Amino acid sequence: MADSPVPDDFAAVLAELKANYLQELPDKLLQVEQGLQQAFLAGASDDDYATLVRIVHSLAGSAGSFGLPELSKVAKAMELALRAQTPAALAQSPAIQSDLIQQFALMRSQCVAADSKPVSNRLQPAVRRASAAVAAYGNRVLLVEDEVDTAELHATQIRFFNYEVTVLHDHTRLRETLDSLGDVAIILMDMSFPDHPLGGAEALMTLQGSDHETLPVLFLSSRDDFESRLHAARAGGNGYLLKPVEIANLVEAMDRQLNRVRPEPERILIVDDDLAVSHLYARALQQEGMVVQTVSEASHIEAALAELHPDLVLLDLYMPVWSGMEIAAAIRQHPAYVSLPIVFLSSEEDVSRQLSAMRQGADEFLTKPIQLPHLIESVRTRVERYRALRGYMLNDSLTGVLNHAAIMNRLDVELARAIRTQSPLSIVMLDLDHFKRVNDDYGHPVGDRVLKSLTYMLRQRLRSSDSVGRYGGEEFILVMPDTPQDAAVKVMVQLCEAFASLQQYANERAFQVSFSAGVANFPTLVHAVDLISAADQALYLAKQSGRRQVQRYTKPS
């Protein structure tokens, strides 16, 4: 079991990992050759034969993770063939021996081909900026993997997504390891071990009835058969990912299990002339993490709507000067607020009057006094529905980020807020490098997966207050409120290197994709069209300067 510190030079660490792996391949191949020779001549004991199977199993599990899928495939076939025989049966079967000799020849050729490839940046880890939101969740991962190289590769990359990783090579020590650690948030479990092809599921079964029984578990396996998935489900697995695992997919699955991907806080506008009540409701909602603004006069509502851009309005039915029904009707006249949820608050118990109020544009009617838990649940449920429906209208169907029209509207809203409050605002134009080659070489479905991996990383790394939108094709816009240009550039440089380090896969082939970005800002520029143009100019400069970099817009003197 090992707990390694996070290294400073990520690229160098992973380059060294791969170099060491390639350097050890000839010795592993020699051990396989010697083991086969012993087995063919009936000179292999049961222990010797088990050692041979373990070495081949190790190759099958690790090669794919290091970008050598063909070697992994051949080693897996050999492992299955060896497991199907006893040492005595193999010694008496020339036909099976011949098949194993052919498989070994293929393994040798794959090792030679692998050794001829330069150690590039294909294994650079993904780097993640820690955020306060993540700190609320446990981040200890227990990675149970017998293959040392594969374990270290996965652990190194996962650590850069703000997880602490403990590696356990012996699955039989799962329960005692969990007892000693005490703070594990999630288990990543290999399915196959040298002593048992379903050893991961067997180990997990030992947790039943213990304090660790409810821990989320993701299986990482090279076995794609339905029986293995059934065993994983029976053991209580929450997910099943095939090796070689794409780190972006793995981290997304981990985040999903641990609820680390937090939605943007609900934004609530309370309109009520009773200040004591409105402050009480505001405090209750704020305690739940919502952003709340209160207004006591109708004349202040328009400015509050523009500033807060709320997900829901809580509106008192009986307001001075203008009634709640009149205010609701006025809000609905604005095209931007046609679908905005409006919930009436009132002590009115007359059903006919409640229905009349609903006809004026309200979505729900809550009777005062309302229990705070009921208020919170009603607000949260209504906002969830509103956001889901709005998502269908505003989000890009492929990537889930805002579509072109929605991100441009968000830019207008945030720029207006920045001008009012005189706070900084940064705009980023981002474009994938040589993306056409990805579609041409690997096909559009693979290109779609690359786009999804980019937008997932952006949403995970950026703050909930930041907005990501698809400008068109492989080009995206980021709107970063309260962010000076220098800070935006720093974040984007980190993201640029992180994304270029992620391994993408197509037909078990590993490859990398990078992006270039340009950053413009307010108050250097004060109009949305100028900000977009300036960020685009900086993006063009990044492309012209070699790609895979971030450039800032500098206003001509």
Domains defined along the chain, listed by start: 10-115 (1.20.120), 125-258 (3.40.50.2300), 267-394 (3.40.50.2300), 404-552 (3.30.70.270)
**Residue 483, pLDDT score:** 96
H or E stretch including 68?
Answer: none
pLDDT digits (tens, 9 = 90+) for 394-409: 888 888 899 998 899 8
Q: How confident is the model at residue 183 (pLDDT cuts 50, 70, 90)?
A: confident
Q: Where are the beta strands (DSSP E) in 333-474?
A: 342-346, 364-367, 425-432, 467-472
Residue 129: pLDDT band with limits 50, 70, 90: very low
How high is the pLDDT of residue 349?
66
Please determine, for residue 150, whether its predicted confidence score (pLDDT) is greater than 90.
no
Please state the rounded mean pLDDT for residues 160-188. 90
| Residue 401: other Cβ atoms inside 10 A | 24
Cα 166–chain centre separation? 20
Please state the rounded mean pLDDT for residues 312-341.
87
With cut-offs at 50, 70 and 90, classify the pLDDT of residue 25: confident
- Residue 496 confidence (pLDDT) above 90: yes
Q: What percent of the chain has pLDDT over 90?
A: 40
Q: Is the pLDDT of residue 436 over 90?
A: yes
The C-alpha atoms of residue 450 and residue 457 are separated, in whole angstroms, by 11
Residue 17 — pLDDT band, cuts 50, 70, 90? low
Mean confidence (pLDDT) of the chain: 84
Mean local confidence (pLDDT), 544-548: 95
Model confidence band, residue 361 (pLDDT cutoffs 50, 70, 90): low
Our CA angle for 345, 347, 349, nearest 5°, is 110
Question: Quick one: average pLDDT of 414-432?
Answer: 94
Yes or no: say if 320 and 273 are a contact pair by the CB < 8 Å rule.
yes
User: Among 93-97, 238-242, 355-359, 478-482, which is the least confidently predicted range?
Assistant: 355-359
pLDDT of 128 higher than 70? no
pLDDT at 339 over 70: yes
Averaged pLDDT for residues 418-446: 94
Overall average pLDDT of the 152-170 stretch: 86
Mean pLDDT value across residues 183-196 = 92
| 428 and 477 Cβ atoms separated by less than 8 Å | yes
pLDDT digit string, tens, across residues 87-112:
888 888 888 999 899 989 888 888 77
Mean pLDDT, residues 370-398: 85
- Pairing mode, if any, of strands 467-472 and 164-168? unpaired
Q: Which residue has the higher pLDDT, 532 or 394?
A: 532
Give the lowest-confidence range in 165-174, 334-343, 416-425, 492-501. Answer: 334-343
Amino acid at 365: F
Cα 353 to Cα 140, 317, 327, 362, 469: the distances in Å are 55, 10, 16, 12, 43
The Cα–Cα gap between 205 and 212 comes to 11
**pLDDT on residue 133:** 32
Distance set, CA 272 to CA 281, 317, 325, 349 (Å): 10, 8, 13, 18
pLDDT of 37 above 70? yes
The predicted structure's pLDDT at residue 241: 93
Predicted local confidence at residue 115, as pLDDT: 54
Q: Are 111 and 71 in contact (CB under 8 A)?
A: yes
Question: Is pLDDT of 130 > 90?
Answer: no
For residue 231, give the amino acid letter.
Answer: H
184-193, 304-313, 499-508: which range is least confident on average?
499-508
Q: Of 166, 188, 162, whose CA–CA distance to 261 is shortest?
A: 162
pLDDT at 551 over 80: yes
Local confidence band at 64 (pLDDT 50, 70, 90 cut-offs): low
* Interatomic CA distance for residues 401 and 389, integer angstroms: 14
Q: What is the pLDDT of residue 217?
A: 95
pLDDT reading at 141 higher than 90 = yes
CB 45 within 8 A of CB 26: no
**Mean pLDDT, range 215-240, rounded to an integer:** 92
